[in-house]
A and B are shown apart, each in its own frame.
Chain A
Amino acid sequence: MATPQHPFDLYAIDSLFNDEQLAMRDAVRKFVDDRIKPHVGQWFEDGEFPARELAKEIGQMGMFGMHLEGYGCAGTDATSYGLACLELEAGDSGLRSFVSVQGSLAMFAIHKFGSEEQKQEWLPRMAAGEAIGCFGLTESDAGSNPSEMRTNAKRDGDDWILNGSKMWITNGNIADVAIVWAHTDNGIEGFVVPTNTPGFKANLVKHKMSLRASITSELVFDNVRLPASAVLPEVQTLRGPLSCLSEARFGILFGVVGAARDCLETAIDYQLNRNQFNRPLAAFQLSQQKIADMAIATGNGMLLAAHLGKQKDQHLLRPEQVSVGKKNNVRMALEVARESRSMLGGSGITLEYPIIRHMNNLESVYTYEGTNEIHTLVVGQALTGIAAYADYKA
């Protein structure tokens, strides 16, 4: 028997990246192998994970807001950020969500739309993992259509009074600061809300079957009084939160390739080592078809991610291209996870192996940051010129 090739070697994937990008990828991979993979099954089972401790380590490596410039951020290129997300998500989508929300949603919002004072106050501590952020856009009655949000902020002298609630907010219960989007007289504005402000409350979402090694919360604002300096000065429309989401989705379209890779590696390894009918499971043609198809789907997803990474590094990446990547790669990863799961038979349903955890996690990833349907409609709009999800305007 010849030595099996790694699915990524089939595509000579490493040749797509430069030495620096590979060095960063390897550093994250080692961190995930040492610090995440041995424990994450238990964290998933328990529905909790050591967020503060991990935040410090992740911060020391420079992963939070790594593709932002200045304020203690590492300032890497976008492709390196994508590769870091990929390795994190090979560990667990919850871990990648933790890093995405901190870096691409909360820090990015402050970095792009914040005042100098807000940047100085929050970004260095968030980059170091000493302060944790969350990002509140979705509400229970405003999901795919965030413009229907009810949360609002009204002037009271120089201050703002914030009322309303947010739903499904990652990191909500552990955050030191929340970026909250609300209706104001000026349009839709973002507020930097320290979570110890009176009137701010976070309630844990329980009974999740997905992203269990991640915190999901409801945020409630009951007459939260904020100073004038709390508002993000540089944006007054939905373009604000949507451009943050575009950043995070870029991380996702790389990240999920990591989850798929981990499922595929596990399935191949398992099928090479388990015998039935006097031969390894991997020796059956039906198995090899599954393995080949999954390796090709994962490899193609990786090529797409790398291509979009290059586009982003040249500042050419358009939102509908991000939708292509998010839609294609999340669906691909979910399909690979389901097929891999079956290839482990009974063992596939336990947390002994990572697959069913990835599979369940990917259900959240399929829904958040724009559902599969919404991204389909964005691509449809790009191809037809008609926005099927908005009020029809000829």
Chain B
Amino acid sequence: MKICVCVKQVPDSWAEKKLTAGDSTLDRAAADRVVNELDEYAVEEALRIVEAGEGEVTILSMGPDEAADSVRKAISMGAHAGIHISDPALHGSDALATSLVLAKALEGRGFDLIMFGSESTDARMSVVPAMVSARLGLPQMTFANKVEVSGSNLTIHRVTDYGYDEVQSSLPAVVSVVEKTNEPRYPSFKNIMAAKKAPMETLSLADIGLDAATVGLANAWSEVKDFAERPAKAKGTVITDEGNGAEKIEEFLVTQKFI
């Protein structure tokens, strides 16, 4: 079983996110960079699948030079190899371009399973897994909270508003997981030390056979025209109960259109 897990490096979700004034892209220097949390669940699920049988887990990420740290971090959970796609032309790529790059990098590598988190914490489009599956012509097994592989068959529980759907497909397939699938492990010290020596490919656009004119900010299908900082939190109103507290609260709720 050969599994590839796509992980995105994102700003720490606790940190305040800022956009760069010049080109309206995310200011990645402003916050600590971490592995997108849901992608850790995907790594955990992949490791459990190979540990229950046999196989290898490869980590794939597209992102600036620093994203290599996130590939190593994911490998230190116990994965075996990493692929990092990095190219100055990728700056500002939209979801369509991201999925193109990932699909191109995955092509011809013979992965049985390509796994994703179902959503990033920064852009939160929740579309990259579906786009990659469409580009590769593979079954789209998204939003899974349970993943079971048996032979060359795959069964997932897809989370829905009303519960879950059981969905089956053959392998190879694309899977995205939600946070209820498992509890990601802490990297072990042995794996942290081994991650340093794990094979890591660093590839440019040319290496994967893509033209710079298909990606990047200039080729995004939509454009951020303008943005404004969220207004500072206004001070709350304190209502002192002088026998008419309930009325005061009702008045407030009406002005806020809650009732």
Closest residue to A76 on the B side, CB-wise? B189
Q: Judging by beta carbons under 8 Å apart, are B186 and A74 in contact?
A: no
Closest residue to B183 on the A side, CB-wise? A34
Is B188 located at the chain interface by the 8 A CB criterion? Answer: yes
Q: Judging by beta carbons under 8 Å apart, are B189 and A62 in contact?
A: yes
Partner of A27, one of B72, B192, B196: B192
- Most B CB contacts (10 A, CB to CB) among A57, A61, A63 go to A61
Q: Judging by beta carbons under 8 Å apart, are B193 and A76 in contact?
A: yes
Closest residue to B77 on the A side, CB-wise? A27
Q: Is the interface of A mostly helix, strand, loop or mixed?
A: helix
Among B65-102, those with CB < 8 Å from A are 69, 72-73, 76
Residues in chain B near residue A66, CB distance under 8 A: 189
Is B187 located at the chain interface by the 8 A CB criterion? Answer: yes
Is A20 located at the chain interface by the 8 A CB criterion? Answer: yes
Q: Judging by beta carbons under 8 Å apart, are B189 and A24 in contact?
A: yes
Q: Is the interface of B mostly helix, strand, loop or mixed?
A: helix
Mask for A53-65, Cβ within 8 A of B = 1, else 0?
0000100111100
Mask for A73-110, Cβ within 8 A of B = 1, else 0?
01110001000000000000000000000000000000
Tell me the complex Cα distance, A76–B76, Å. Answer: 14
Residues in chain A near residue B188, CB distance under 8 A: 27, 60-62, 74
Residues in chain B near residue A76, CB distance under 8 A: 189, 193
Mask for A369-386, Cβ within 8 A of B = 1, else 0?
000000000000000000
Q: Judging by beta carbons under 8 Å apart, are B185 and A74 in contact?
A: no
Tell me the complex Cα distance, A27–B72, Å. Answer: 13
Is B109 located at the chain interface by the 8 A CB criterion? Answer: no
Partner of B196, one of A20, A31, A62, A75: A20
Q: Judging by beta carbons under 8 Å apart, are A63 and B189 in contact?
A: yes
Mask for A20-36, Cβ within 8 A of B = 1, else 0?
10011001001100000
Tell me the complex Cα distance, A56–B186, Å. Answer: 12
Q: Judging by beta carbons under 8 Å apart, are A80 and B186 in contact?
A: no
- Most B CB contacts (10 A, CB to CB) among A60, A62, A63, A80 go to A62
Tell me the complex Cα distance, A155–B50, Å. Answer: 53
- Total count of chain B residues near the partner, CB < 8 A: 14
Is B190 located at the chain interface by the 8 A CB criterion? Answer: yes
Min CB distance, A107 to chain B, in Å? 14
Residues in chain B near residue A61, CB distance under 8 A: 186-189
- Most A CB contacts (10 A, CB to CB) among B185, B192, B196 go to B192
Q: Judging by beta carbons under 8 Å apart, are B186 and A30 in contact?
A: yes
Tell me the complex Cα distance, A391–B73, Å. Answer: 55
Tell me the complex Cα distance, A75–B188, Å. Answer: 12
Q: Judging by beta carbons under 8 Å apart, are B186 and A23 in contact?
A: no
Residues in chain A near residue B69, CB distance under 8 A: 19
Min CB distance, A300 to chain B, in Å? 25
Min CB distance, B235 to chain A, in Å? 13
Q: Judging by beta carbons under 8 Å apart, are B186 and A20 in contact?
A: no
Q: Judging by beta carbons under 8 Å apart, are B187 and A27 in contact?
A: yes
Closest residue to B196 on the A side, CB-wise? A20
Residues in chain A near residue B190, CB distance under 8 A: 62, 74-75
Q: Judging by beta carbons under 8 Å apart, are B189 and A31 in contact?
A: no
Tell me the complex Cα distance, A60–B192, Å. Answer: 13
Tell me the complex Cα distance, A57–B185, Å. Answer: 9
Min CB distance, A336 to chain B, in Å? 25
Residues in chain B near residue A60, CB distance under 8 A: 185-186, 188
Min CB distance, A118 to chain B, in Å? 23
If A74-B193, A76-B193 touch, does A23 touch B187 (CB 8 Å cutoff)? yes
Among B189-230, those with CB < 8 Å from A are 189-190, 192-193, 195-196
Closest residue to A62 on the B side, CB-wise? B189
Among A7-47, those with CB < 8 Å from B are 19-20, 23-24, 27, 30-31
Tell me the complex Cα distance, A62–B69, Å. Answer: 21
Residues in chain B near residue A20, CB distance under 8 A: 192-193, 196
- Most A CB contacts (10 A, CB to CB) among B186, B193, B195 go to B186
Partner of A31, one of B72, B186, B192: B186
Min CB distance, B11 to chain A, in Å? 15
Residues in chain B near residue A57, CB distance under 8 A: 186
Tell me the complex Cα distance, A40–B233, Å. Answer: 34
Tell me the complex Cα distance, A75–B69, Å. Answer: 22
Tell me the complex Cα distance, A20–B69, Å. Answer: 11
Residues in chain A near residue B185, CB distance under 8 A: 60
Tell me the complex Cα distance, A375–B137, Å. Answer: 70
Partner of B189, one of A19, A30, A74: A74
Residues in chain A near residue B196, CB distance under 8 A: 19-20
Min CB distance, A38 to chain B, in Å? 15
Among A171-215, those with CB < 8 Å from B are none
Min CB distance, A202 to chain B, in Å? 30
Residues in chain A near residue B186, CB distance under 8 A: 27, 30-31, 57, 60-61
Residues in chain A near residue B76, CB distance under 8 A: 23, 27
Residues in chain A near residue B189, CB distance under 8 A: 24, 27, 61-63, 66, 74, 76, 80
Mask for A273-291, Cβ within 8 A of B = 1, else 0?
0000000000000000000
Residues in chain A near residue B195, CB distance under 8 A: 23
Can you report 9 A-B residue pairs in the complex whose CB atoms are below 8 A from each other? A23-B192, A23-B195, A27-B192, A31-B186, A60-B185, A60-B186, A66-B189, A74-B190, A74-B193
Name A's B-contacting residues (CB within 8 A): 19-20, 23-24, 27, 30-31, 57, 60-63, 66, 74-76, 80
Cβ-closest 7 pairs across A and B: A62-B189, A74-B189, A62-B188, A27-B187, A23-B192, A74-B190, A61-B188
Name B's A-contacting residues (CB within 8 A): 69, 72-73, 76, 185-190, 192-193, 195-196
Other A-B pairs beyond A23-B187, A76-B189, 7, CB < 8 Å = A23-B72, A23-B73, A23-B192, A23-B195, A57-B186, A60-B185, A62-B190
